[in-house]
């Protein structure tokens, strides 16, 4: 049974653990009227929250951070049950980054959001200040692969900037948000400031159309197109965090052991259901054979099974249809000449009757294979041989997606040079995946991977509304020379001013060089 089956009641999502099949819990689907009511309540909560000074908001939100820490074991248990990911990943990839984000923002938000005075290059008699004011109600629509850390990063940004926030979690993994909402409510913070609505795509649509002031969407490219169109029709600004097809370039001089370990961890963490998973390896021919052998050996050491046990590295597939997607990728690749190094099929670990796919390594992969072109979102690492770094860069950029990319080389300077030539939102040199957990760094994609950014100073400012306030430094004359009336004499004067100010090394240039 799919984890999101309604079990007969169309108004309920019943969730089953992907690793064991056991029933984990259920939530009632939010009706369109209830979505509208939630937005109205959020609006009232925002009216109160916006008037709370930023420093005080920071203090109050730490109460929630503390409650998350206190109840971390419950969160981890729920994440493991609902998604099938190993306990260590639930802790390190989900709970820890969010606790860190709330801690970080409580300290940094007042600095990042402080009003910014603009040094006007011409209107020296004016004072121009950009203020970052609360936006209103922010809607967050999220996927099933990181059902806690993805929405909660956006929740944090919305709350710190003074907005109210409503999350629409994936219908596949709604229970972790249900628990998170209970934890929020237990802190005494205003209940309507952070709300959750449950259901499928139609509930997400109702949120977009219901009068929110911003949408942060994370999900697939096809859904992203629909959501962006709906946001466009409603004139709601949006951030689109979509799919990835991260290339990893293994240069001839790379540290082979670290590179192999990065490929294995970056390809199989969360059973490969990560938007920044290592999805294409381009290995220089000088190290290709040794790298494939080492990746194979490390993959064979992985223990797959019930993720509730600490000694398991690879858990279950969260979303059953991804098993068919994985099969299709393997079949297509083998049909086009790839070599199956290990894996390549579903796997049934002892004592775990759920949905598992064996960590799979494919070698001799070529650009015509689906596995090198389409997002896999499963535990499959395809490796291709390249003759040069130039070829690796060209092939890495030959993709409609551009979220993360990775370069492995002992020459860090060369690594940075290659990074600048890769078409991706983030490029890591000698590392994989970890950038999503750095609240300082902007995260997002280019090309079909989306637009806008989450995390980082700019994204926090973008979560707020920019209000530009301009005042005069000295009292302005009653009769402003640039206002009415217009006449020929003044036009002549202004026309002369154009040349004086701008031609060659004109006055503007000279003023700019002084200040």
CB 247 to ligand NAD: min, Å: 15
Residues 6+ apart with CB under 8 A from 232: none
**Is 218 a residue that touches ligand NAD (CB under 6 A)?**
yes
At closest approach, how far in Å is the CB of 222 from ligand NAD?
7
Three-state SS at 126: strand
- x-or-dash pattern for ligand NAD, window 230-269, by CB under 6 A? -----------xxxx-------------------------
Residue 241 a catalytic site member: yes
- Whether 238 is a known active-site residue: answer no
Whole-number Cα distances in Å, 303 to 86, 314, 338: 11, 6, 25
Q: Which of the residues 294 through 333 are near ligand NAD (CB under 6 A)?
A: none
Q: Is 226 in the site for ligand NAD (CB under 6 A)?
A: yes
Q: Which residue has the tokens 């993709």?
A: 399
Query: Which is catalytic among the residues 171, 241, 308, 423?
Result: 241
DSSP state string for 314-348: B---SSTHHHHHHHHHHHHHHHTT-EEEE--SB--
Query: What's the rounded Cα separation, in Å, for the pair 67 and 169?
Result: 21
CA distance 310 to 298: 18
| Residue 270 is a binding residue for ligand NAD (CB under 6 A) | no
Kindly calculate the radius of gyration of the chain based on its CA atoms and give it in whole angstroms: 26
Binding flags for ligand NAD, 43-82, as an x/- string (CB under 6 A): ----------------------------------------
Q: Is 214 helix (H, G, I), strand (E, B) or coil?
A: strand
Choice between 113 and 374, CB closer to ligand NAD = 374
Of the two residues 63 and 226, which places its CB atom closer to ligand NAD in the complex?
Answer: 226
Does residue 145 belong to the site contacting ligand NAD (CB under 6 A)?
A: yes
Cα 364 to Cα 464: distance, rounded to the nearest angstrom: 48
Measured from the CB atom, the residue of 178 and 226 that comes closer to ligand NAD is 226
User: What is the closest distance, in whole angstroms, from the C-beta atom of residue 158 to ligand NAD in the complex?
Assistant: 16
Options 275, 308, 365, 375, the catalytic residue: 275
Can you tell me which of 275, 314, 358, 365 binds ligand NAD, judged by CB under 6 A?
A: 275
Least separation in angstroms between residue 379's CB and ligand NAD is 15
Residue 375 binding ligand NAD, by CB under 6 A = yes
- C-beta closer to ligand NAD: residue 178 or 200: 200
User: β-strands 126-133, 137-141: how paired?
Assistant: unpaired
CB of 168 to ligand NAD, least distance (A): 6
Cross-strand bridge partners of residue 166? 139, 195
**Does residue 143 interact with ligand NAD by CB under 6 A?**
yes
Give whichever of 142 and 259 is closer to ligand NAD, judged by the CB atom. 142
Residues 176-215: x where in contact with ligand NAD by CB under 6 A, - otherwise, as a string: ------------------------xx--xx----------
Site membership for ligand NAD, residue 25 (CB under 6 A): no
The counts of H helices and E strands in the chain are: 18, 20
Nearer to ligand NAD, 19 or 172 (CB): 172
Size of the site for ligand NAD (CB under 6 A): 30
Residue 386's H or E segment, with its range, is strand 380-386
463 to each of 43, 161, 165, 204, 396, how far by Cα in Å? 16, 7, 11, 19, 32
Q: Which among 77-85, 144-152, 246-254, 460-468 is the span making contact with ligand NAD, rule CB under 6 A? A: 144-152
Judged by CB under 6 A, does residue 142 bind ligand NAD? yes
For the chain, first and last CA: distance in Å? 68
Which phi-psi region, left, alpha or beta, contains residue 232 (left: φ > 0; alpha: ψ -120 to 50)?
Answer: alpha
**3-state secondary structure at position 76:** helix
Q: How far apart are CA 239 and CA 245, in angstroms?
A: 19
322: CB partners within 8 A, 6+ apart: 273, 357, 377, 378
Could you list the active site residues? Answer: 241, 275
Q: Residues interacting with ligand NAD, by CB under 6 A?
A: 141-146, 150, 168, 170-171, 200-201, 204-205, 218-220, 223, 226-227, 241-244, 275, 375, 377, 403, 445, 450
């Amino acid at each position: 049974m799919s984890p999101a089956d309604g079990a007969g009641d169309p108004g309920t999502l019943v969730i089953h653990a992907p690793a064991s099949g056991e029933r984990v819990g259920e939530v009632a689907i939010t009706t369109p009227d209830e979505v509208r009511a939630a937005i109205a309540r959020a609006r009232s909560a925002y009216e109160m929250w916006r008037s709370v000074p930023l420093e005080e908001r920071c203090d109050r939100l730490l109460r929630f951070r503390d409650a998350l820490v206190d109840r971390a074991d419950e969160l981890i248990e729920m994440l493991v049950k609902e998604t099938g990911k190993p306990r260590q990943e639930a802790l390190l990839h989900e709970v820890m980054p969010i606790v860190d984000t709330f801690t970080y923002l409580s300290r940094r938000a007042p600095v990042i959001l402080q009003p910014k005075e603009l040094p006007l290059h011409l209107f020296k008699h004016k004072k121009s200040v950009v203020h970052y004011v609360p936006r209103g109600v922010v809607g967050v629509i999220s996927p099933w692969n990181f059902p806690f850390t993805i929405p909660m990063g956006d929740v944090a940004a919305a709350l710190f900037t003074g907005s109210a926030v409503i999350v629409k979690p994936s219908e596949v993994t709604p229970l972790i948000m249900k628990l998170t909402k209970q934890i929020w409510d237990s802190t005494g913070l205003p209940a309507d400031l952070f709300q959750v609505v449950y259901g499928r795509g139609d509930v997400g649509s109702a949120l977009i159309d219901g009068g929110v002031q911003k949408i942060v969407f994370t999900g697939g490219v096809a859904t992203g197109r629909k959501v962006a169109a709906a946001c466009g029709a409603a004139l709601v600004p949006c951030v689109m965090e979509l799919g990835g097809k991260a290339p990893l370039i293994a240069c001839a001089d790379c540290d082979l052991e670290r590179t192999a370990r990065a490929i294995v961890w970056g390809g199989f963490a969360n059973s490969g259901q990560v938007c920044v998973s290592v999805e294409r390896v381009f290995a220089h021919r000088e190290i290709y054979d040794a790298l494939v052998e080492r990746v194979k050996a490390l993959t064979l050491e992985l223990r797959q099974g019930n993720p509730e046990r600490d000694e398991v590295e690879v858990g279950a597939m969260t979303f059953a249809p991804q098993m068919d997607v994985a099969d299709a990728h393997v079949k297509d690749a083998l049909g086009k000449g790839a070599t199956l190094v290990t894996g390549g099929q579903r796997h049934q670990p002892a004592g775990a009757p759920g949905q598992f796919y064996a960590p799979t390594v494919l070698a001799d992969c070529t650009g015509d294979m689906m596995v090198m072109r389409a997002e896999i979102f499963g535990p499959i690492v395809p490796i291709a041989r390249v003759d040069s770094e130039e070829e690796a860069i060209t092939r890495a950029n030959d993709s409609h997606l551009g979220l993360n990319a990775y370069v492995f080389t002992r020459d860090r300077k060369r690594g940075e040079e290659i990074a600048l030539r890769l078409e991706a939102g983030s490029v890591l040199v000698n590392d994989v995946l970890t950038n999503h957990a750095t609240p300082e760094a902007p995260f997002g994609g280019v090309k079909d991977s989306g637009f806008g950014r989450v995390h980082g100073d700019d994204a926090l400012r973008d979560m707020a509304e920019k209000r530009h306030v301009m005042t005069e430094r000295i009292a302005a004359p009653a009769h402003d020379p640039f206002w009415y009336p217009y006449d020929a004499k003044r036009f002549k004067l202004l026309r002369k001013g154009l040349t004086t100010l701008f031609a060659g090394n004109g006055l503007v240039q000279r003023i700019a060089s002084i200040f």
